[in-house]
Amino acid sequence: MSLLFSPLKIKDVEIKNRIMMSPMCQYSAKDGHAKDWHFVHYGTRAVGGAGLIMFEATAVLPKGRITYGDLGLWTEEHAQRLKHITNFIKSQGSVAGIQLAHAGRKASLQLPKDGDGPLRDAEGAWEIVAPSAIPFGNNYQVPTALSICDIHSIEESFANAAQKAFVAGFEVVEIHAAHGYLINEFMSPATNKRTDDYGGSFENRIRFLLEIIDHIKFVWPDNLPIFVRISATDYVDGSWDINQSIMLAKELKKKGIDVIDVSSGGLVPDAKIQYDFGYQLAFAERIHKETGIMTATVGMNTTAEQGEMILRDDMSDIVVYGRELLRDPYFALNAAKVVHDDIEWPVQYIRAKNK
Ligand SMILES: Cc1cc2nc3c(=O)[nH]c(=O)nc-3n(C[C@H](O)[C@H](O)[C@H](O)COP(=O)(O)O)c2cc1C
């Protein structure tokens, strides 16, 4: 059997292969609610054989959405609509995960199709929050620095969403601590200028994330995995970097986090990043090898052979495919052929399996 199609058991969840669909915003929700689009989009990737399907960044509060089109999970009704989708994903033998997020100073943006910039008042802009009152870029709204009381309230919102994620049938939650959104903004010296318990030292900057984890663990079953997606570096001199990511990984391991999903960037608009296969792989490998925690590696993974090589060289435990799965929802079914594995196909498609 190939490594890419070997199962992975994390706590009580068995994932049938190492292919994870990366969380990718669909900008197609209404008031945070999933629509037919989400059912077809996620359902098709389950039919296509991906082992773990990570739903897009899902806001824990209305004001934590990046755009009006983001998924949200702050009411029972949000959970009920998602349950319909997770039931179908399970019926196909895949595992459904959900990325819980708060967009911080990168909230209140236009849909990408409308320009991706900050929403103007006439377009329904809402007040945004961050650790410090520093805007993302020129022309972006200046966020309000969060009070301690508001920090605690957002932490509780993550737990509220995690509890609803369980009701909605998700078996993995991923905390979105990457890409310059709220948690990442606390971690990074470039965006966190606080002088209280949540700013300054490394311990203070990661406190918000660690407290969110504690809150989530109150409501999320012990036998189900928790992932954290991080940006291994901000690509900003003197800010968050791979060494701090490794220090963080050690803390997360102590907290019982199962997998670190290793991405990078997103904190500042002008970071210089060379986008090639493997551009984030060395970060995942170092975190995995230097701390022993499981990692998922993402970024320009497009082929089965790459996945096989990553696993063979023990650079990561899970291979995450993003845009490749947008181009080809049946990527996993086809990848199995490439690595000469005979996997089960949906019965409806058996006649297409071999020619
Ligand atoms: C349309 C789109 C939406 C995305 N939304 C999210 C998201 O919700 N959460 C997240 O962590 N990353 C998001 N990303 C980043 C991807 O998850 C992934 O890390 C990135 O595309 C690199 O992987 P790839 O080269 O395999 O696509 C998004 C990327 C795309 C293309």
| Three-state secondary structure readout of 113-151 | HHCCCECCHHHCCCCCEECCCCCCCCCCCCCEECCHHHH
Task: Please count the other Cβ atoms lying within 10 Å of the Cβ belonging to residue 91.
Answer: 12
CA distance 232 to 178: 8
The pick from 19, 25, 41, 182 for probing ligand 1's pocket by mutation, whose C-beta has the most ligand atoms within 8 angstroms, reads 25
Residues with CB under 6 A from ligand 1: 22-25, 56-57, 99, 176, 178-179, 229, 263, 298-301, 321-324
The pick from 20, 24, 261, 321 for probing ligand 1's pocket by mutation, whose C-beta has the most ligand atoms within 8 angstroms, reads 24
The pick from 19, 22, 100, 228 for probing ligand 1's pocket by mutation, whose C-beta has the most ligand atoms within 8 angstroms, reads 22
Ligand 1 geometric centre to CA of 150 (Å)? 28
Q: Which of 27, 68, 181, 198 is catalytic?
A: 181
321 is catalytic: no
What predicted TM-score, i.e. pTM, was given to this entire model? 0.98
What local confidence, expressed as pLDDT, does residue 130 receive? 98
Parse the chain into domains and list their residue ranges.
21-38+54-80+101-319
What is the residue with the minimal CA distance to atom 26 of ligand 1?
Answer: 322
Ligand 1 geometric centre to CA of 144 (Å)? 27
Q: How far is CA 206 from CA 178, 192, 198, 203, 235, in A?
A: 12, 11, 8, 6, 18
DSSP 345: P
| Per-residue tokens: 238 | 């003197």
CA distance 172 to 258: 10
Ligand 1 geometric centre to CA of 24 (Å)? 5
What is the residue with the minimal CA distance to atom 1 of ligand 1?
Answer: 24
Strand partners, 145: 130
What local confidence, expressed as pLDDT, does residue 355 receive? 74
What local confidence, expressed as pLDDT, does residue 349 receive? 97
Per-residue pLDDT of the chain (355 residues; tens, 9 = 90+): 999 999 999 999 999 999 999 999 999 999 999 999 999 999 999 999 999 999 999 999 999 999 999 999 999 999 999 999 999 999 999 999 999 999 999 999 999 999 999 999 999 999 999 999 999 999 999 999 999 999 999 999 999 999 999 999 999 999 999 999 999 999 999 999 999 999 999 999 999 999 999 999 999 999 999 999 999 999 999 999 999 999 999 999 999 999 999 999 999 999 999 999 999 999 999 999 999 999 999 999 999 999 999 999 999 999 999 999 999 999 999 999 999 999 999 999 999 998 7
What is the residue with the minimal CA distance to atom 7 of ligand 1?
Answer: 24
Strand partners, 176: 229
Ligand 1 geometric centre to CA of 186 (Å)? 21
Ligand 1 geometric centre to CA of 88 (Å)? 23
Strand spans (E) along the chain: 8-10, 13-15, 19-21, 52-59, 71-72, 95-101, 129-130, 144-145, 172-177, 226-231, 259-263, 294-297, 318-321
What's the CATH fold of domain 21-38+54-80+101-319? TIM Barrel (3.20.20)
Let me know: does 67 contact 111? Beta carbons within 8 Å. Answer: yes
